[in-house]
Amino acid sequence: DQQVKQNSPSLSVQEGRISILNCDYTNSMFDYFLWYKKYPAEGPTFLISISSIKDKNEDGRFTVFLNKSAKHLSLHIVPSQPGDSAVYFCAASGGTSGTYKYIFGTGTRLKVLA
Amino acid sequence: GAGVSQSPSNKVTEKGKDVELRCDPISGHTALYWYRQSLGQGLEFLIYFQGNSAPDKSGLPSDRFSAERTGGSVSTLTIQRTQQEDSAVYLCASSLPSSSYEQYFGPGTRLTVT
Strand partners, A87: A38, A109
Name the minimum distance, in Å, from the CA of B34 to any CA of chain A.
11
Does residue B11 surpass a pLDDT of 80? yes
**What per-residue confidence (pLDDT) applies to B6?**
97
Chain A CB contacts of B106 under 8 Å are 43
For chain A, the domain total comes to 1
Residue B84: C-alpha distances to residues A35, B18, B43 (Å)? 30, 12, 18
Q: Going by CATH, does the domain composed of B5-96 fall within 2.60.40.10?
A: yes
Contact A91 B50 (CB under 8 A): no
Give residue-wise pLDDT tens across range B16-55: 999 999 999 999 898 999 999 998 888 999 999 998 888 9
Query: Is there a contact between A43 and B91 if contact means CB atoms under 8 Å apart?
Result: yes
Mean pLDDT of all residues in A90-104: 81
Where do the structural domains in chain B lie, given as residue ranges? Answer: 5-96
Chain B nearest-CA distance from A78, in A, is 23
Please give the Cα distance from A61 to A84 (Å, whole number): 11
Instruction: Collapse the DSSP code of B86 into the 3-class scheme (helix H, G, I; strand E, B; otherwise coil) and give the result.
Output: helix
Name the percent of chain B lying above pLDDT 90.
76
Full residue range of the structural domain in which residue A89 is found:
4-113
Q: pLDDT at position B99, please?
A: 78
> Do the Cβ atoms of B107 and A102 come within 8 Å?
no
pLDDT at B97 over 80: no
Per-residue pLDDT, A1: 65
Q: How far is B40 from chain A (nearest CA, A)?
A: 7
Is 80 exceeded by the pLDDT of residue A98? Answer: no
Contact B31, B95 (CB under 8 A): yes
pLDDT digits (tens, 9 = 90+) for A50-60: 999 999 999 99
What is the CATH number for A16? 2.60.40.10
pLDDT at residue A17 is higher than 90: yes
